[in-house]
């Protein structure tokens, strides 16, 4: 008799549980509307090179995520993602953050990236956001992934890899201009 669970079984339980939470999420998430995160994204890929063989690749980049709308009833944060390049932000597309459990200031979340996000064919991530209030205003927050995997199309062909995000809340006045 097998007692333990595989990671894929655990992920499926988290995903299914997350969707069951969404119908009755009780926390007011409106404090997040209009907030920006500056994120350090570390990527480790297996990608196809020009000769068709597979080779590893690693890089780090700065990205931003803006929460432009919230649905507290369903535990959803509607976001836009941006890559930082040449002193400005380039849109990478929409991101729907599904809150799984926790409070409005400390919650677990899950996202599924798909074809509408730049270059990503399929991907998922899970993590935690923790915020702090001062004088009734959300003034600090951190965002961290606990895991992310994706299938990406690069200029050379398909790639698969893992990504980590570590970020913090930044005031809109410190956000670079959107250039594309």
SS3 16: helix
| Domains, the chain, with CATH or none | 7-174 (2.40.160)
69 pLDDT exceeds 90? yes
Question: pLDDT tens digits, residue range 21-54?
Answer: 444 567 899 999 999 999 999 989 898 877 888 9
Task: Provide the percentage of residues in the chain whose pLDDT is more than 90.
Answer: 58
Q: Answer whether 126's CB lies under 8 Å from 145's CB.
A: yes
DSSP sequence for 37-68: EEEEEEEEEEEE-TTS-EEEEEEEEEEEEEEE
**Which pLDDT score, from 0 to 100, does residue 5 have?**
41
Higher pLDDT, 124 or 107: 107
**Which pLDDT score, from 0 to 100, does residue 29 have?**
96
CA distances (Å), origin 31, targets 24, 122, 138: 19, 30, 7
Higher pLDDT, 119 or 21: 119
What does the buried/exposed string (b/e) look like for 53-64 if buried means 16 or more CB atoms within 10 Å of the residue's CB? eeeeeeeeeebb
114 pLDDT exceeds 90? no
**Which pLDDT score, from 0 to 100, does residue 19 have?**
43
What confidence category does residue 116 fall into, taking pLDDT thresholds of 50, 70 and 90?
low
Sign of the Cα torsion 38, 42, 45, 47 reads positive
**Which pLDDT score, from 0 to 100, does residue 170 have?**
98
Contacts of 52 (CB under 8 A, 6+ apart): 157
Contacts of 85 (CB under 8 A, 6+ apart): none
């Amino acid at each position: 008799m097998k007692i333990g669970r595989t990671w894929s079984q655990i992920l499926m339980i988290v995903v299914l549980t997350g969707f069951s939470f969404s119908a009755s999420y009780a926390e007011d998430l409106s404090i997040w509307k209009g907030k920006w995160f500056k994120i350090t994204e570390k990527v480790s890929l297996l990608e196809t090179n020009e000769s068709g063989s597979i080779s590893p690749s690693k890089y780090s980049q700065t990205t931003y995520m803006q929460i432009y709308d919230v649905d507290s009833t369903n535990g959803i944060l509607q976001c836009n993602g941006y890559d930082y390049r040449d002193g400005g932000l380039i849109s990478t597309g929409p991101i729907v953050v599904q809150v799984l459990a926790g409070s409005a200031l400390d919650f677990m979340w899950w996202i599924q990236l798909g074809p509408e996000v730049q270059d990503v064919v399929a991907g998922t991530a899970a993590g935690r956001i923790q915020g702090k209030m001062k004088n009734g205003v959300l003034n600090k927050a951190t965002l961290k992934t606990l895991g992310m995997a994706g299938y990406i199309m690069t200029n050379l062909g398909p790639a698969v890899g893992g990504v980590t995000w570590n970020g913090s809340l930044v005031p809109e006045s410190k956000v670079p201009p959107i250039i594309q």
